[in-house]
Amino acid sequence: MAALIPILEKNRHAIFSKYLFEEGICFAKMDEYSTKHPEIDAPNSEVIKLMHKFESNKYVNCTSTRRHHYWYLTYDGIEFLRTYLNLPSDIVPATFGRPSGGPPGDRPQ
């Protein structure tokens, strides 16, 4: 059995804040031996491990294809990340109702 390697706090924060909460989704190639995730400054294996843990806690839903996993935040996941990242309730991920055509928070008349 492989030894469990802890996820570095800086990588955890990069995955949570810079990508998962901002976008509302996360993807990873089904290759745990890939050295780096293409969008996040963290190893692909850490992204996969963290997202599987989030999936077991019902913070994300997963869809898989032949070569990639796609994780989508649930409402519980948004609330968890708001608490973890200390964000106000008016900030939402891009997939949860940010109006198009203007800056974030700009609503049509």
Could you tell me which CATH number the domain at 9-85 has?
Answer: 1.10.10.10
At 101, which amino acid appears? G
Whose structure tokens read 């106000």?
Answer: 88
Question: Model confidence over 38-87: pLDDT tens digits?
Answer: 888 888 888 888 999 999 999 999 999 989 999 999 999 999 999 999 99
Kindly list the distances between the CA atom of residue 50 and the CA atoms of 7, 12, 46, 90, 103, in Å, as whole numbers in the listed order.
Answer: 8, 8, 6, 25, 31
Q: Tell me the domain boundaries of the chain.
A: 9-85
pLDDT exceeds cutoff 90 at 4: no
d(C-alpha 50, C-alpha 66), whole Å: 20
Residue 4 is given by DSSP the state P
Q: Region 23-37: what's the mean pLDDT? A: 83
Element (H, E) at 74: none
